[in-house]
Structure 1
């Protein structure tokens, strides 16, 4: 299901203001004067007014009726509305919490290994160490990665990627929730991965999944959910996302005399942790978080970036750097224009200008570079990458933003309908005071049963039916 980037609910429901005090005062005067006048007019001439009957009829009964009418008025004009608003606002709060949790979901970057044609590429592109590399249009080769002792160059690259991560990979492999995603030119490269795994004496035999370079890894949607890993449906062992995932991606050019390479070489490894893992082990240190991506057609990039920023994964002022690679034509110009129009105060970093034309490995190389700089305290990083007919945007941050939808005291409500209960009790007292019978009679029994039933129904509505009905209304409309 396509993720919804706009908040799922409208503004808060309001109960308005309770009835003013003068209304209750006016009711009291009106009811009391009416009963007092009526009692005086109909009072027997031969009976003293200084009696219990006169006090009951002229004073106690109208007071009870005033309490009943005032309670009904308060309940109908304010309390019931306040209850409805509180329940709906509570449901809205849960909806917004769920939505914001989804917006700010991400995968943790536990560690990275980066091999690029230029040393210290991330630091130099951000001018932290040395001058930024400038190699536009130049196809570059990885230095220091050569075939030795008959081992193919590809295997040497894999070993160079895995060796620095050996200790963490051993712990991840022992978790029984670990796999390797390999994105490269040949599916047969898994043999070299297994050979290096064995050489490094890492435990077990990991499950390795291959993605061709033209395959979308589904990172924008699938990797944040606990659903079936549909991006790897071709695998014979598809299932739920593992807690640990090692991404290996590389591009090496051929060495033949007739080979005309079109893209620079690069290799990258990212050890990722799932949201479930980080929730179970909050003490586990990570370098950065890759937050949920948003995808858009090339002519919709401006709207997509606006939605991404409006969703407030992080405050926009924290975004300080913008990385992009392999964008061409409309996608490139629309993305650069969108960044300019949103008035983001960011430094732009084009990987293609730094290390020449890029292969599909750039989708992971760029994430690793951004994660490294986020880890180095350089603020949040915005990343833009191509997709068929469009662009993928995501933000990389050092610390995962917390869910912070504010809770208000207005969302709370009394478990019992005190206004209704007060009105029922006052009405029962009024009826008993005005009863023409000296002893308990059918009239009193019927009125007591009816009012008792109203009390039970009012409590049932407040405790059970009302919250469910109002909550269901909100979830049906906005969930």
Structure 2
């Protein structure tokens, strides 16, 4: 079953009340009355009632009453089994959906270079005052300008050097990719020069490639779907001013090292998780309220752990809709507008927000909510460490044998044996009754399996119809 952000909303059934005990009392009275009438009409005149045939007829009468009581409970027991299995499918589907929604990418470390030093700490009020530079086009600090090498090479060196230890330790042993997001193809050769300068071993086994800025979301979605995620990936993003051209955004550079879940488990003593970048959800600007409620309903992380909101590159309408959706959802979060802090945003700002949010998670500031523009309108994602546990769904017992049917069939079987004995039937009739009783066991198992499959088909058809209706 394919997953989407559509919340499974198939209602569970209720068990209902069992048949009243008075029905059994009425059945006993009716059976007793019918038995008395039958015995009065058929009993031989002058024959003593204290005899074997009399007690046999009484026993047959009681067995007939047992069969009637069992038949009254067949429908109720059948409904109980169906309700239990249906509700199990509902719980199991929701648990699978939550596991799907909790998919995340593991951030091992991050570096963020911005025009304002210690940007994340200052925006959260941990250090100094929050910078205010709306609409400005700012360069990186003068300390990030080198005279002996090109500017892009120097910036890349600042991004790669903190991860030199990971490169030296894991390159060649595991699949290690370096992805550079920049606007110039020549920047890839600059990156190779930086790697050669660091003189790390097994660099020839590191896969290096360049992509256009702003393509990380497609890469993240592919990884979250379980496709193409390397053991390690160092994602670099740079937006620098081109010499001789009018700058259109403030400068920024980002480096984030991602590791697969297998690597984190294998090297639990050597790799420390910085933050988890949870699966994002996208929607149109006028549907942000719905997407935020869906995100919170998935409980990727405990709601009370969400402490801050990060914004960048959002159009005015989308920004207002996001802030309104937070209030409607009962989230009173301080909003940190990176565009207001460091000036005009560029394509790397999307990656920058993830790095800043991960840095604050590492500083113990709780889970961070990130709001960014995308092709649909607004994309929301959480960056945190703690995941909310998904309740375990215990499998339910879906009986192959019905108790009421088995009891009713047993009573009928015994009653028939006595009746056949009383009328002096041939042995063939005994064998027919016995075979019929034994065949009832596999028939019950077959009906039970068929009923369960029909219920599953009905359930998943309703789920598919619900998803299709929402998508259209």
Q: Please, what TM-score do these two structures have when normalized by structure 2?
A: 0.89
SS at structure 1 position matched to 2:287: helix
Corresponding residue for residue 137 of structure 2: 139
* Greater alpha carbon shift after TM alignment, 313-322 vs 78-87: 313-322
Once the two structures are TM-superposed, the CA of residue 313 in structure 1 deviates from its matched residue by 2.6
Q: Distance in 2 between matches of 1:472 and 1:3?
A: 17
**Equivalent residue for 2:162?**
164
- What is residue 467 of structure 2 aligned with on the other side? none
Compared CA separation, residues 362 and 86, structure 1 to 2 (3 A): same
For 2:276, what is the secondary structure of its paired residue? strand
The equivalent residue for 1:237 is none
Judging changes above 3 Å, is the alpha-carbon distance between structure 1 residues 341 and 459 closer, same or farther for their aligned structure 2 residues? closer
Is 1:432 aligned to 2:417, yes or no?
yes
Pair 323,279 (structure 1): closer, same or farther in 2 beyond 3 Å: same
SS in 1 for 2:217: coil
Using a 3 Å threshold, how does the CA distance of structure 1 residues 468 and 352 change in structure 2: closer, same or farther? same
Contact preservation (8 Å) 2:213, 2:237: no
Alpha carbons 2:7, 2:294 under 8 Å: kept: no
Query: Aligned partners of 2:260, 2:94: CA distance in 1, in Å?
Result: 22
Tell me whether 353-362 or 188-197 shows the greater mean CA deviation. 188-197
**Which residue is equivalent to 1:28?**
28
- The structure-2 alpha-carbon separation of the partners of 1:397 and 1:415, relative to structure 1 and needing over 3 Å to count, comes to farther
Using a 3 Å threshold, how does the CA distance of structure 1 residues 276 and 400 change in structure 2: closer, same or farther? farther
Range 48-57 or range 289-298, more displaced: 289-298
**1:164/1:339 Cα in 2 relative to 1: closer, same or farther (>3 Å)?**
same
Aligned to 1:68: 67
Matched ranges for 1:39-118 at <5 A = 39-57=39-57, 59-76=58-75, 78-118=76-116
Instruction: Assess if the C-alpha contact under 8 Å between 2:216 and 2:351 holds in 1.
Output: no
C-alpha deviation, 1:54, in angstroms: 0.6
**Pick from 434, 448, 459: which aligns with 1:474?**
459
What is the alpha-carbon distance in structure 2 between the residues aligned to residue 454 and residue 282 of structure 1? 57
1:95 partner SS = helix
Matched with 1:356 is: 343
Question: Aligned residue for 2:217?
Answer: 217
Name the structure 2 match of 1:242.
230
Q: Is the contact made by 1:179 and 1:246 (CA closer than 8 Å) also made in structure 2?
A: yes
The alpha-carbon distance between structure 1 residues 141 and 431, as it changes in their structure 2 partners (threshold 3 A), is: same
Equivalent-residue separation in structure 2 for 1:296 and 1:271 (angstroms): 28
Distance 2:173 2:423 in 1: 81
Pick closer, same or farther for the CA change 1:275–1:473 going to 2, 3 Å.
farther
Which region of structure 1 is more displaced relative to structure 2, 296-305 or 279-288?
279-288
Offset at 1:315?
4.1
Q: Residue deviations 1:91-147, cap 9 Å, x none?
A: 222211111111121111111112122222111110012221222223222222223
Out of 247, 256, 260, which is 1:270 matched to? 256
Aligned-partner SS, 2:110: strand
Specify the alignment match of 1:234 in structure 2.
none
Counterpart contact for 1:224–1:274, Cα < 8 Å? no
Structure 1 distance, partners of 2:28, 2:173, is 73
The CA distance in 1 between the partners of 2:113 and 2:226, in whole Å, is 31
Give 1:381-460 correspondences, 5 Å limit: 381-388=368-375, 390-404=377-391, 407=393, 411-435=396-420, 436-438=422-424, 440-460=426-446
**Partner Cα distance (1:286, 1:356) in 2:** 31
- Tell me the TM-score normalised to structure 1 length: 0.88
RMSD: 2.6
Q: Deviations over 1:316-356 (max 9, x none)?
A: 43322110011223333333333344342100100011111
After superposition, what is the alpha-carbon deviation per residue over 1:174-207, rounded to whole angstroms, capped at 9, x for unaligned? 4533322221112332222233233330424322
Cα deviations across residues 196-245 of structure 1 (Å, max 9, x unaligned)? 23333042432233221254631563231114xxxxxxxxxxxx322322
C-alpha displacement at 1:366, in angstroms? 0.4
Q: Which moved more, 1:180-189 or 1:169-178?
A: 169-178
Number of residue pairs matched by the alignment: 459
Over 3 Å counting, the alpha-carbon distance change for 1:469 and 1:116 in structure 2 is: same
Query: Equivalent residue of 1:181, what SS?
Result: strand
Q: Structure 1 residues 193 and 417, CA, compared in 2 at 3 Å: closer, same or farther?
A: farther
Change (3 A) 1:220 1:295: farther
1:152 aligns to 2:150 (yes or no) = yes
Instruction: Name the CA distance, whole Å, in 1 between partners of 2:61 and 2:209.
Output: 82
SS state at 1:213 partner: coil
Supply the distance in 1 between the matched residues of 2:23 and 2:241 (Cα, whole angstroms).
86
Aligned counterparts of 2:374 and 2:109: Cα–Cα separation in 1: 26
The answer as to whether partners of 1:211 and 1:217 remain within 8 angstroms in 2 is no
Q: How far apart are residue 282 of structure 1 and its match? A: 6.9
Gaps of 5+ in 1: 228-239
Q: Any stretches of 5+ residues in structure 2 without a counterpart?
A: 465-472
